[in-house]
Amino acid sequence: MTPPIPHIVTPIRTLLIANRGEIARRIMRSAHAMGIICVAVYSDADADSPHVAEADLAVRLVGFSPADTYLRIDLILDAASRCSADAVHPGYGFLSESGPAARAVNGAGLVWVGPSADAIDAMGSKVGSKELMRTAGVPTLPSITVIGDVVPTGEEVDSLGWPLLVKASAGGGGRGMRIVPGPEDLAEALSGARREARSAFGDDTVFLERYVKDPRHIEVQVLADRYGDTVALFERECSIQRRHQKIIEEAPSPVVTAELRARLTEAALSASRAVGYENAGTVEFVLDEHGDPYFLEMNTRLQVEHPVTEAITGLDLVRLQLLIASGAALPPEVHAAVDAGPVGHAIEARLYAEDPASGWLPSTGTLHSFEIPIGGPQSGVRIESGVELGSVVSPHYDPMLAKVIVHAPTRDEATSTLAATLDGSRIHGVATNRDLLVRTLRHAGFRRGDTDTGFIDRVGLGNLAEPLADRAATERHALAAALGAQAQRRSQARVQPHIPTGFRNSPSALQVSTFDSHHGVVAVGYRFDRFDRSGQRLDQVEIDGTPVDVRVVSAEPGMVALTVENITRRYRLERVGRTTYVDGSDGSSVLVEHERFPIPGSQVAPGSSLAPMPGGVVRVAVAVGDEVEPGQLLVVLEAMKMEHAIHASAAGTVSEVDVSVGDQVETGQVLVVMMVTMVMEDSES
Amino acid sequence: MPTLPTTVDVTSDSYRANRAALEAAVALVDEQLALARAGGGERYVARHRERGKLPARERIELLLDRDTAFLELCPLAGWGSQFAVGASSITGIGVVEGIECFISANDPTVRGGAMNPFTFKKGARGSDIALANRLPTINLVESGGADLPSQAELFIPGGRAFRDLTRQSAATLPTVALVFGNSTAGGAYVPGMSDYIVMIEERSKVFLGGPPLVKMATGEESNDEELGGASMHARVSGLADALAVDEPDAIRLGRQIVSRLNWRKRGAGPSQPADPPVHDPDELLGIASADPKVPFDPREVLARVVDGSRFDEFKPLYGASLVTGWGSIHGYPVGILANHRGVLFSQEAHKATQFIQLANQIDVPLIFLQNTTGYMVGKEYEQAGIIKHGAQMINAVSNSSVPHLTVNIGASYGAGNYGMCGRAYDPRFLFAWPNARSAVMGPAQLAGVLSIVGRQSAAAKGVPFDEEADVAMREMVEAQIEAESLPLFLTARLYDDGIIDPRDTRTVLGMCLSVIDNQPITGTRGYGVFRM
């Protein structure tokens, strides 16, 4: 029997958190509870962020882009040294899976809260890690590496199972990747993939792998101390994804049986041990249509969705990370949690500042409201957010606003509570995926557990992204917005403050408010009857010229209650300039009121192409005088690490180019103006 | 302060009968208001819209601050005459950029907005209101000029319109003209005399003489644009201060001008809580008597008009046929005189005289609720000096310099009309309820007096009295006087500023008091208050 390794524990006194947003706050919360001094770092865009305000010390990183700030290990180490930090927690993203960063931190004599640099490197290589796992007996999808012009054939290929996926060995992000339906398509797919791989990565090595259509994404949380004690804290299912980005995660998975859980645990432990893993990590698997798991990759860091595991185990994973990093062995409660098994069910939804309906475009702006109803102490609702009321959501970083996690005895209860919590949220100033999350959580398929990665495509983005407020609800919202604004104007009246609103001794036209909404233009006309002791009565209401039977229960600037068709609903209102945000039990609307007196000439010139989102101009493809065809590229914007091409909507001649490469533009800014040519019918046909 | 109680029984027969009669009277007025609002009728309004123009009322709606009130004045001017009811114009007081303004608009759908004698009277009344209450004026101009067939009644007195505009300007009351269309010949002086002029590109036309007249006068060839186009006036003559691209733009520019008038109300402002009455104003319809011969307690009216139904009665035990006392409406303190049992005796005259002096001493406006058949006649009263006492009251009313507001809530006959601040005594505003009557005396009394005088005359001449003819004459005279004492007849002739729904009394008086508050109040000084 080998003698036990002596446990040398060096408590962390000052922790630098090399991250931002909700995860920085999350780490700080646990660290503060452990009596650790927290050092934040922040880019110029984040100077007013909550994670800065909540830190004991905060160090500015000059610049905006991640490359200039949060990804600069030299600046991070300098900040750590100046603040006498003895450990660095990388959070997730940024430097969290960088072997060199971990090495640099250790080299500077500091503790890296995470696995060893070697483990990070070992798991960082797509092909290498798979080989490693295969050797360690972890199930992986069968694959063949193809070097040069060879087209592999016969049994070798057939044994992989059709269809196949051909992938660039060096690549990522889907470039050089294609699906091969059958043997007859293989040669062409290989040559195409190789060509793309060569041009993108300078390496035309590709590999063939069995293609699993719409798999489930299952992952296992592991924890390991440096003394060889490794545990698996059950699985999470993260199959609801948009563009390979998880948006809803839960634990346990509705399809994982005890038998499968045992297989997953075994595989995860083998994977971790194969690389001598220490600290918290996640082994990701795809689950094919037969329910068989295959190793996908290992994330050598804390995951965004770690709170669902915390919920079902009762553990604080950040605390455990810090303990492990300080040299402690896994404490007994970890083993107790493993023995107890998953408790209840937890679901997390990621609330993003993005517009699902317009291609998930990130949305930026100031949060005029940010309220997520957390409920009472027994509600099981947990909110992790990096923003608060008044925060500015900038285009520089990930647009996640918050994670909302619900823990309940059953999956159904957790799902219902999460949907209701999101539905009751008031988030104003940016577009969000809130309604899509609510529709997903309330979808019968989701409730049944039919949650593979094809869910959103199968149900249809159009259906899921449809706002919760239908046209009729939006009309009620417009009426509430009009009456609330009316109440505000009356409350601010400089003269005749108590005279009944809109009084006429010979009543003619109605008071009119016209709004742009998701459902198009809504015109509201209203007139109040003379006051009587029962309060204000509406004499007449019209929506788009049609009389509506409405009773006003109350109309105040921030709250309007209406009875329509004998149903009374209360609406909360917030006005910011011409925009009114309306939240009710029948959904939310963002209503932009038409100017009563538009200033002539302030409208956008016809033929103008506008920036669809804020970003930097990376390419201007046309010049003044150019003849352009419909669909021709005009300008390319870069935002959120993605390129957005702006194309001509009609044929014409470019009369104005208002931007140049390097400019930062705001949403709605004019980029290019064209004289649109009338398209004539072909007279010879 | 005591709160007025009520004894109104909404289930009583008299309440129901009153309510039915008042509802019918209100409906009759509403019908005429609807007619006035229709302007020149569907066809002309449609044609107006086809030309891309807004009807006059929509121009006003767009000019006003949203959700503020508009008190239309004399809306039924010209009723029953050869001219369209409303007199082809709309006048009233509304709030623009937080400022109470007198607003006047031609209605171009009524005979091209041509001005008739009633239009002129309505405009003149507006000038009086603007001057008396210190209001800026906004004219929304589009008129074909004078209604030529009635020029004899119009041309010579009509010059007053232009004189008034510049007198308002001299009195530091800014005048703004927004010219929506034609404003030619004499009409050109409406913008011409205004402090600020906005014209609309290709719409406004302002000249003294059009191309045909110029050709006749001097032989010169010219066109509309050269003579009076908006662009010419904005760029060449300088008559226009601002050039708008369309009607909403002209209204926007008009509002912009008003927002820069550096306007401050000079009154003391409201000083009392403005809580609504505790009794329901809706019940006023059942309180006002359907039969003018049946008096009703004005305290029941006040209980539905004054703030919180709070009323401090002055001299309740003396001259009880007239109720006097203090209260407030929309926070403005007021003194109120209201007839109770119709007749004014010496005691009532004394009480009124003293009360009017008290209001002047403390600079508080007075409200007169008329429901009077006049001063008492008869040997006993004449010998007791009813003429002297009535004269004292009329003297006090005439020389009182606090603002007066008069509402005829039932009857206003004889010299009672004078003592209770009738039209000739220049109340700042005068309104009538639809049940109200006003004449020198009641129709039956007047016919009877004529009959007696006729009988005496026959006897003096020694001729036989024609009894049959007398009956016919009495019927005819009674019918004529009854018709001439009706509110529509009187409002048509601008003997009031409009007929109001009794339920709107508090609102209308509240607006008037706020309007009055643009001007500081100074009561008549000179003597101490005479104890009467």
Q: Please tell me the distance from the alpha carbon of residue B196 to that of residue B177, in angstroms, as a whole number.
A: 6
Contact B68 A508 (CB under 8 A): no
pLDDT value for B4: 96
Whether residue A378 lies within 8 A of chain B, CB to CB, comes out as no
CB B203 within 8 A of CB B180: yes
Q: Please tell me the distance from the alpha carbon of residue A468 to that of residue A424, in angstroms, as a whole number.
A: 12
pLDDT value for B226: 93
pLDDT value for B237: 95
Nearest alpha carbon to residue A211 among A267, A317, A303, A288: A288
- The pairing of beta strand B89-96 with beta strand B99-106: antiparallel
Whether residue A508 lies within 8 A of chain B, CB to CB, comes out as yes
CB-based contacts of B245, cutoff 8 Å, min separation 6: A600, B200, B201
Contact B61 A508 (CB under 8 A): yes
Contact A503 B249 (CB under 8 A): no
Portion 68-97 of B in contact with A at CB < 8 A:
68-72, 75, 95
The chain B residue lying nearest A510, using CA atoms, is B61
Partners of A486 on chain B (C-beta within 8 Å) are: 66-67
Number of structural domains chain A divides into: 6
| Residue finishing a domain among A60, A92, A113 | A113
Q: In a mutagenesis test of the A interface, which of B32, B66, B278, B309 is the best target, namely the one with the most A β-carbons within 10 Å?
A: B66
Per-residue pLDDT tens over the stretch A91-141: 999 999 999 999 999 999 999 999 999 999 999 887 788 889 999 999 998
- Among B67, B507, B508, the residue with its CB nearest the CB of A489 is B67
Burial A674-684 (b: 16+ CB within 10 A, else e): bebeeeeeeee
> Please, which pLDDT band fits residue A535 given cuts at 50, 70 and 90?
low
> Please, which pLDDT band fits residue A201 given cuts at 50, 70 and 90?
confident
A677 to A364, A610, A621: CA distances (angstroms): 34, 19, 19
Kindly tell me if the per-residue pLDDT of A682 is higher than 80. no
CB A582 within 8 A of CB A522: no
Q: How far is B269 from chain A (nearest CA, A)?
A: 10
Per-residue pLDDT tens over the stretch A351-360: 999 999 888 8
Question: Burial of A9 by CB count in 10 Å (0-12 exposed, 13-18 middle, 19+ buried)?
Answer: exposed
Could you tell me if A576 and A634 lie in one domain?
Answer: no
Partners of B500 on chain A (C-beta within 8 Å) are: 505
> Please, which pLDDT band fits residue A536 given cuts at 50, 70 and 90?
low
Could you tell me if A588 and A493 lie in one domain?
Answer: yes
Could you tell me if A657 and A587 lie in one domain?
Answer: no
Partners of B252 on chain A (C-beta within 8 Å) are: 597, 599
Q: Please tell me the distance from the alpha carbon of residue A446 to that of residue B405, in angstroms, as a whole number.
A: 71
- Among B67, B69, B280, the residue with its CB nearest the CB of A532 is B280
Whether residue A501 lies within 8 A of chain B, CB to CB, comes out as yes
Nearest alpha carbon to residue A25 among A344, A391, A402, A510: A402
Nearest alpha carbon to residue A427 among A435, A415, A419, A416: A435
Portion 322-341 of B in contact with A at CB < 8 A:
330-331
The chain A residue lying nearest B32, using CA atoms, is A506
CB-based contacts of B490, cutoff 8 Å, min separation 6: B432, B438, B496
The kind and range of the H/E element at B425 are none
User: Which residues of chain B fall below pLDDT 70?
Assistant: 1
Could you tell me if A29 and A91 lie in one domain?
Answer: yes
| Residue finishing a domain among A417, A437, A466 | A466
Contact B67 A502 (CB under 8 A): yes
Which residue bears the tokens 């008086």? B509
Question: Chain centroid to CA A191: how far?
Answer: 36
User: Which CATH number belongs to the domain containing residue A49 in this structure?
Assistant: 3.40.50.20
For residue A396, the one-letter residue type is H
> Please, which pLDDT band fits residue A194 given cuts at 50, 70 and 90?
confident
pLDDT value for A680: 34
For B207-247, the DSSP string reads: -SS-HHHHHHHH-----HHHHHBHHHIIIII---SEEESSH
Angle between helix B117-133 and helix B151-158 axes, rounded to 10 deg = 20
CB A655 within 8 A of CB A678: no
CB-based contacts of B353, cutoff 8 Å, min separation 6: B392, B393, B395, B396, B530, B532
The chain A residue lying nearest B265, using CA atoms, is A495
Could you tell me if A221 and A281 lie in one domain?
Answer: yes
Could you tell me if A152 and A269 lie in one domain?
Answer: no
CB-based contacts of B58, cutoff 8 Å, min separation 6: A508, A509
Partners of A599 on chain B (C-beta within 8 Å) are: 252
Which residue bears the tokens 């072997």? A99
Question: Burial of A62 by CB count in 10 Å (0-12 exposed, 13-18 middle, 19+ buried)?
Answer: exposed
pLDDT value for A403: 98
Could you tell me if A78 and A191 lie in one domain?
Answer: no
Kindly tell me if the per-residue pLDDT of A142 is higher than 80. yes
What number of H helices and E strands is found in chain B?
A: 21, 15
Q: Please tell me the distance from the alpha carbon of residue A671 to that of residue A657, in angstroms, as a whole number.
A: 6
Reading the block at residue B421, the tokens are 């601040």
3-state helix/strand/coil string of B389-421: HHHHHHHHHHHCCCCEEEEEEEEEECCHHHHCC
Reading the block at residue B247, the tokens are 């009607």
For residue B273, the one-letter residue type is P
> Please, which pLDDT band fits residue A335 given cuts at 50, 70 and 90?
very high
User: Which CATH number belongs to the domain containing residue A481 in this structure?
Assistant: 3.30.700
Nearest alpha carbon to residue B268 among B511, B100, B509, B520: B520
| Residue finishing a domain among A343, A370, A387 | A343
Q: How far is B75 from chain A (nearest CA, A)?
A: 8
User: Which CATH number belongs to the domain containing residue A652 in this structure?
Assistant: 2.40.50.100
Q: Please tell me the distance from the alpha carbon of residue A176 to that of residue A168, in angstroms, as a whole number.
A: 5
pLDDT value for A683: 32
Whether residue A488 lies within 8 A of chain B, CB to CB, comes out as no
Question: Is A357 among the domain residues?
Answer: yes
CB A571 within 8 A of CB A582: yes
Kindly tell me if the per-residue pLDDT of A575 is higher than 80. yes
Partners of B29 on chain A (C-beta within 8 Å) are: none
- Among A489, A505, A598, the residue with its CB nearest the CB of B72 is A505
Burial B414-438 (b: 16+ CB within 10 A, else e): bbbbbbbbbbebebbbbbbbbbbbb
CA atoms within 13 A on the CB side of B212: 1
Q: How far is A69 from chain B (nearest CA, A)?
A: 49
Contact A506 B251 (CB under 8 A): no
Question: Is A2 among the domain residues?
Answer: no
The chain A residue lying nearest B279, using CA atoms, is A533
Q: Please tell me the distance from the alpha carbon of residue B109 to that of residue A594, in angstroms, as a whole number.
A: 29
The single-letter DSSP state of residue B148 is G
Could you tell me if A459 and A484 lie in one domain?
Answer: no
Q: In a mutagenesis test of the A interface, which of B49, B59, B62, B68 is the best target, namely the one with the most A β-carbons within 10 Å?
A: B68
Whether residue B37 lies within 8 A of chain A, CB to CB, comes out as yes
Per-residue pLDDT tens over the stretch A36-54: 999 999 999 999 999 999 9
Reading the block at residue A248, the tokens are 């809803």
Question: Is A4 among the domain residues?
Answer: no
Instruction: Classify A22 as helix, strand or coil.
Output: helix
Q: In a mutagenesis test of the A interface, which of B67, B330, B508, B515 is the best target, namely the one with the most A β-carbons within 10 Å?
A: B67
Nearest alpha carbon to residue A409 among A335, A482, A342: A342
Question: Is A128 among the domain residues?
Answer: no
Question: Is A190 among the domain residues?
Answer: yes
Q: How far is B21 from chain A (nearest CA, A)?
A: 20
Could you tell me if A584 and A620 lie in one domain?
Answer: no
Q: Determine if the pTM surpasses 0.95.
A: no
Kindly tell me if the per-residue pLDDT of A532 is higher than 60. no
Could you tell me if A23 and A109 lie in one domain?
Answer: yes
Question: Is A475 among the domain residues?
Answer: yes
Question: Is A601 among the domain residues?
Answer: no
Could you tell me if A412 and A424 lie in one domain?
Answer: yes
The β-bridge partners of B367 are: B336, B405
Q: Please tell me the distance from the alpha carbon of residue B519 to that of residue A584, in angstroms, as a whole number.
A: 47
Could you tell me if A446 and A494 lie in one domain?
Answer: no
For residue A469, the one-letter residue type is A
Whether residue A227 lies within 8 A of chain B, CB to CB, comes out as no
CB B519 within 8 A of CB B172: no
Radius of gyration from C-alpha coordinates of chain B:
25
CB B523 within 8 A of CB B402: yes
Contact A509 B57 (CB under 8 A): yes
Per-residue pLDDT tens over the stretch B44-67: 999 999 999 999 999 999 999 999
Termini Cα distance of chain A: 93
Partners of A598 on chain B (C-beta within 8 Å) are: 248
Portion 186-225 of B in contact with A at CB < 8 A:
none
Portion 244-283 of B in contact with A at CB < 8 A:
245-246, 248-249, 251-252, 255, 265, 274, 276, 280-282
What is the residue range of A668's domain? 608-676
> Please, which pLDDT band fits residue A147 given cuts at 50, 70 and 90?
confident
Contact B510 A498 (CB under 8 A): yes
Nearest alpha carbon to residue A192 among A213, A206, A181: A206
Partners of B285 on chain A (C-beta within 8 Å) are: none
Kindly tell me if the per-residue pLDDT of A170 is higher than 50. yes
A631 to A323, A357, A675, B284, B341: CA distances (angstroms): 57, 21, 15, 70, 86
pLDDT value for B69: 97
User: Which CATH number belongs to the domain containing residue A330 in this structure?
Assistant: 3.30.470.20
Question: Is A523 among the domain residues?
Answer: yes
- Among A486, A499, A598, the residue with its CB nearest the CB of B69 is A499
> Please, which pLDDT band fits residue A204 given cuts at 50, 70 and 90?
confident
- The pairing of beta strand A279-287 with beta strand A293-299: antiparallel
